[in-house]
Amino acid sequence: MTSTERPRLAVRSPADLLAAVPYLLGFHPADSVVAVALRGRQIIFAARADLPDPSEDPVERARHLAGVIHRQGAEAATVVGYGPPDRVTPTVDAVRAALAGAGLDVLDALRVTDGRWWSYLCAETDCCPPEGRPYDPTASTVTASAVFAGQVALPDRAALVAKVSPVEGPARAALSAATDRAERRLTELIDEAPASDLLGGRTLRAAGVAAIREAQRRQRRDERLDDDEVAWLGLLLTHLPVRDHAWERTDGRDRDIALWTDVLRRVEPELTAAPGALLAFAAWRAGQGALAAVALERVLDQHPDYSLALLLDDLLRRGVPPSDLDGWPSVGVPGVVRHRKRSRRRRR
């Protein structure tokens, strides 16, 4: 499941809502159920889940989706199912029931199939004919407003996954060579640390702070890190005090998302955990829950026990609003102490 908070879009009709959904999620959904949460007349949140398999009971997934929407402080919601009727209808029905059970008004329930939409709640043939209504999202003023505001709707979720996929070919070979050089540099750095610096911890942190400061300075100037800088930063981020320093300096700014996306795609697979988790945190803080989700999927596929990724995955799945961390880093992340203790127990 992915969730996101996005800038306001003026929605006045079902067609407008359908045009807005891809910009709320960041991509055009398919074989999905989407719940759009409202407070008053304002869209405050959107959450998406895959349609369950035909043999799967949709009730449990529906209850989870409704719980996520309820935690946003929503008053009402509209449900949209994308796909064939035999899969969409039972899922939308289950989500409607779960939302109502959570005390939320269901304003509408829609199905989108092959470029047409139907309403499950409207029986007026003038506005909701049995053959459905065609819609063209590109013709909506909502689409124009979203594009003007800089929002992006990728063709599908696969296109979003591609944004965090590793570079390949000659670029990968160059990064592998740069990582070998960074490892030799790291060995020399630790060997040259003073005897009073146990295991070179202070030396590593100082090098990491300098690398992070330089990376963020370069990002502010729209300058891309070279291969040696990416490999060096990726290696230093495996030291938890360095990772935590980077975390404290990361928020939902565009430059944070751009930096950690670039580093995630370019570092070697064994170094993806920290930059991937930092990207997920930045994307979540920016309200780009779908991007956060695909970044976490990549991290947890390669590093299933990485505590920061597990923490962020838990926040995302529970639908914790990014606004809960307004004031970061002076306010703490819910659950972070618990996850760190759990991580230390595993290492013992």
Give phi and psi for 287, each to the nearest 5.
Answer: 85, 15
* pLDDT higher than threshold 50 for residue 340: no
| Residue-wise DSSP of 182-224 | HHHHHHHHHHTS-TTSGGGHHHHHHHHHHHHHHHHHHHHTT--
Give the per-residue pLDDT at 131.
93
Q: Where are the domains of the chain?
A: 2-155, 163-347
User: Is 263 strand, coil or helix?
Assistant: helix
- Model pLDDT, residue 2: 52
In the 8-state DSSP scheme, what is residue 38? E
The 10s digit of each residue's pLDDT in 2-31 is: 544 445 566 678 888 888 888 888 899 999
pLDDT band at 149 (very low <50, low <70, confident <90, very high): low
What is the rounded (10 degree) CA torsion for 213, 218, 219, 224?
-130
| Token digits of residue 100 | 């109502």
pLDDT band at 1 (very low <50, low <70, confident <90, very high): low
pLDDT at residue 186, as a whole number: 96
What mean pLDDT do residues 65-73 have? 90
Torsion of CA 263, 264, 269, 271, to 10 degrees: 60
* Rg from Cα positions in the chain: 23
Distance of alpha carbon 222 from its chain centroid, rounded? 23
- Please say whether the beta carbons of 297 and 262 come within 8 A: no
Tell me how far apart the alpha carbons of residues 132 and 83 are, in angstroms, rounded to a whole number: 14
**What DSSP string describes 104-147?**
-EEEEEEEEETTEEEESS---TTTS-TT-EE--GGGSHHHHHHH
Please, where are the H alpha helices in the chain?
14-25, 59-70, 85-101, 141-148, 157-162, 170-191, 201-220, 227-236, 240-248, 254-266, 273-285, 289-302, 307-317, 336-347
Question: Could you confirm whether domain 2-155 is CATH 3.40.140.10?
Answer: yes
Please state the pTM of the whole predicted model.
Answer: 0.82
Q: Give the model confidence (pLDDT) of 252-271 as tens digits.
A: 999 999 999 999 999 999 99
pLDDT digits (tens, 9 = 90+) for 79-130: 999 999 999 999 999 999 999 999 999 999 999 999 999 999 998 888 889 9
Q: How far is CA 301 from CA 234, 272, 296, in A?
A: 18, 10, 8
pLDDT at 209 over 80: yes
Question: What pLDDT sits at residue 12?
Answer: 75
Per-residue pLDDT reduced to its tens digit, 119-144: 999 988 888 899 999 987 777 766 65
* pLDDT one-digit tens code per residue, 310-335: 999 999 988 888 888 877 787 767 65
Q: Name the residue with higher pLDDT: 69 or 137.
A: 69
